[in-house]
């Protein structure tokens, strides 16, 4: 069976993504690009210098070179070299070789770690030279890409031209094999080689295109964009943990809103967030996601923490709400109905992009606490604020108010309650709980926070 599979795979002639002869080396001097070596992180600079002194070539590559050219602050500085992982490890005492399949070296300076990778080749199927064989599955997805190669091959195996630049801090010059520099200046995100083949090799590149275009404020070049819609189903073949990691990168990029909108526009969301269409087609759902993701993006830009569980609680909330409301409308009691709705929505989501179980607790707690904000009688608000997840649930409730799903009055009440002294808090409670029946009946008419009204709202929206 395995042998048959291998034979099938090896007999496929995988066309080279881009022939090396089309990769023409351009050297961009300092006076053109303007990047000084002192803009490089000192740890990465020390590494390239030491490697070069030991006779190897070494460059700052990938996102760092690109971001510096765009005037952005790089997230991390990666180094690429022609030294093997063992040679790198030998030069740096504080380093370790990581990864079994894809071997890299982590070099440590102080609290920092810099990733050093050996130039890798994009080897095609080659019956004469099995040492450079790259395995692909039946869709063309690369199963092995750990073959060392030349610097030029290393450029060509990368995803986008703007990610394939090599900055040499010693000479302060950039080596550019694929016109990445021009694409950066033109703000064009262009796949290296044949886009269809490159997405088949690694469908994650379609998500990277969306994320990088938003983050870098670039246009996805026409040929690069064209096959995405048709190839979107290939995301199903990507190992779920990798898909989840990439989705998280996208949601925590600081550009979640524009990424989610773009994912949907390109039809990439089906395998990731299967219920997104339904949610965004309801005006309230769309408003909630827009406000919540904008808020998340703002938090990230201010370096405030954002929990992935909270993000998924946001993305799925309106489906839970809609299912919860239907169950209640058909006579189920509120809390059992909410639990049933949560289970149903999480299991639909799991069939596509499985959210790791470690996030379940926060997602469910944030949802389960929501009805408790609407009950401001007795000691209940006091009990609610002692809950360990109160803050997340409170932020979530405020977003619901802001989106128009709950009344602003409810959000204001909670803001006042939280900032008030105990004496004022007690008075607020009394006001809520005293003339019970008549007041409740009156408020039913106008407060959209009333669960009964929510049922109507959602049913109305569902019919839109
Ligand atoms: P970020 O700013 O998000 O870190 P990045 O481009 O640096 O963006 P990384 O995931 O850090 O992204 O990858 C570093 C480099 O490795 C990329 O710039 C690119 O050259 C290469 N790379 C990453 N993922 C892929 C991929 N799926 N296929 C080909 N090359 C890739
Ligand atoms: Mg990076």
* Full DSSP string of 212-244: HHHHHT-EEPHHHHTTHHHHGGGGGGS-HHHHH
Q: What is the pLDDT of residues 219-249, one digit of tens each?
A: 999 999 999 999 999 999 899 889 999 999 9
Could you tell me if the CB of 457 is within 6 A of ligand 1? no
Quote the pTM value: 0.84
Quote the ligand 1 centre to 243 CA distance (angstroms): 15
Q: Note the ligand closest to the C-alpha atom of 72.
A: 1
Q: Are 22 and 127 in contact (CB under 8 A)?
A: no
Residue 67 alpha carbon, nearest atom of ligand 1: 2
Quote the ligand 2 centre to 61 CA distance (angstroms): 9
Q: Which domains does the chain have, with CATH numbers?
A: 7-192 (3.30.460.10), 298-440 (1.10.3090.10)
User: Which residue intervals of 83-227 are DSSP H helices?
Assistant: 85-91, 151-156, 180-186, 195-201, 204-216, 222-225
Element (H, E) at 58: strand 58-61
Q: What is the pLDDT of residues 181-212, one digit of tens each?
A: 999 999 999 999 999 999 999 999 999 999 99
Among candidates 252, 265, 233, 401, which has minimal Cα distance to 312? 252
* 3-state SS class at 12: coil
Told to judge if 76 belongs to the known catalytic residues of this protein, a careful annotator would answer yes
Could you tell me if the CB of 325 is within 6 A of ligand 1? no
Q: Can you tell me the distance from the alpha carbon of 353 to that of 151, in angstroms, rounded to the nearest whole number? A: 36
Identify the burial level of 301 via C-beta atoms within 10 angstroms of its C-beta, where 0-12 means exposed, 13-18 middle and 19 or more buried. exposed
- Taking CA atoms only, the protein residue closest to ligand 1 atom 16 is 62
- Of 67, 78, 183, 297, catalytic: 78
Q: What is the pLDDT of residues 398-441, one digit of tens each?
A: 999 999 999 999 999 999 999 999 889 988 886 655 444 444 44
Among 77, 143, 158, residue to substitute to test ligand 1 (most atoms within 8 Å of Cβ): 158
Could you tell me if the CB of 63 is within 6 A of ligand 1? yes
Distance of alpha carbon 451 from the chain centroid: 33
- Tokens 């450029």 correspond to 155
Compute the mean pLDDT over every residue in the chain, rounded to the nearest whole number: 86
Q: Can you tell me the distance from the alpha carbon of 306 to that of 311, in angstroms, rounded to the nearest whole number? A: 8
- Taking CA atoms only, the protein residue closest to ligand 1 atom 4 is 63
Q: Are 275 and 357 in contact (CB under 8 A)?
A: no
Q: In the chain, what's the furthest Cα-to-Cα distance?
A: 88
């Amino acid at each position: 069976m395995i042998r048959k599979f291998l034979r099938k795979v090896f007999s496929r002639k995988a066309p080279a993504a881009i022939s090396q002869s089309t990769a023409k080396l351009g050297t961009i001097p300092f006076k053109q690009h303007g990047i000084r070596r002192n803009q490089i992180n000192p740890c990465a600079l020390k590494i390239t210098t030491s490697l070069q002194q030991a006779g190897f070539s070494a460059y700052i590559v990938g996102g760092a070179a690109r971001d510096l050219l765009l005037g952005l602050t790089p997230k991390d500085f990666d180094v690429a070299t022609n030294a093997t992982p063992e040679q790198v490890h030998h030069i740096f005492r504080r380093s370790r070789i990581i990864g079994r399949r894809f071997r890299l070296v982590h070099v440590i300076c102080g609290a920092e770690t810099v990733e050093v990778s050996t130039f890798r080749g994009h080897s095609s199927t080659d019956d004469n030279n099995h040492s450079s064989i790259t395995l692909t599955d039946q869709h063309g997805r690369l199963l092995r890409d750990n073959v060392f190669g030349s610097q030029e091959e290393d450029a060509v195996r990368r995803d986008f031209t703007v990610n394939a630049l090599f900055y040499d801090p010693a000479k302060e010059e950039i080596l550019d094999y694929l016109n990445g520099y021009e694409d950066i200046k033109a703000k064009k995100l262009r796949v290296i080689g044949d886009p269809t083949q490159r997405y088949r090799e690694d469908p994650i590149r379609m998500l990277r295109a969306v994320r990088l275009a938003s983050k870098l404020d670039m246009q996805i070049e026409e040929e690069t964009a064209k096959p995405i819609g048709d190839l979107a189903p290939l995301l199903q073949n990507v190992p779920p943990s990798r898909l989840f990691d990439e989705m998280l990168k996208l949601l925590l990029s600081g550009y979640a809103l524009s990424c989610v909108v773009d994912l949907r526009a390109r039809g990439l969301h089906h395998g990731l967030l299967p219920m997104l269409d339904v949610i965004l087609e309801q005006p309230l759902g769309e408003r909630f996601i827009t406000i919540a993701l904008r808020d998340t993006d703002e938090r990230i830009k201010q370096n405030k923490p954002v929990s992935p569980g909270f993000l998924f609680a946001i993305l799925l909330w309106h489906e839970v709400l809609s299912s919860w409301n239907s169950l209640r409308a058909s006579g189920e009691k509120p809390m059992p109905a909410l639990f049933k709705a949560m289970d149903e929505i999480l299991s639909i989501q799991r069939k596509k992009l499985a959210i790791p179980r470690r996030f379940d607790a926060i997602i469910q707690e944030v949802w389960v606490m929501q009805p408790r904000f609407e009950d401001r009688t007795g000691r209940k608000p006091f009990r609610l604020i002692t809950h360990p997840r109160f803050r997340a649930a409170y932020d979530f409730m405020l977003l619901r108010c802001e989106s128009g799903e709950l009344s602003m009055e409810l959000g204001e009440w909670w803001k006042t309650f939280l900032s008030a002294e105990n004496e004022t808090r007690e008075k607020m409670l009394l006001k809520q709980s005293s003339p019970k029946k008549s007041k409740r009946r009156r408020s039913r008419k106008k407060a959209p926070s009333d669960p009964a009204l929510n049922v109507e709202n959602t049913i109305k929206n569902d019919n839109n």
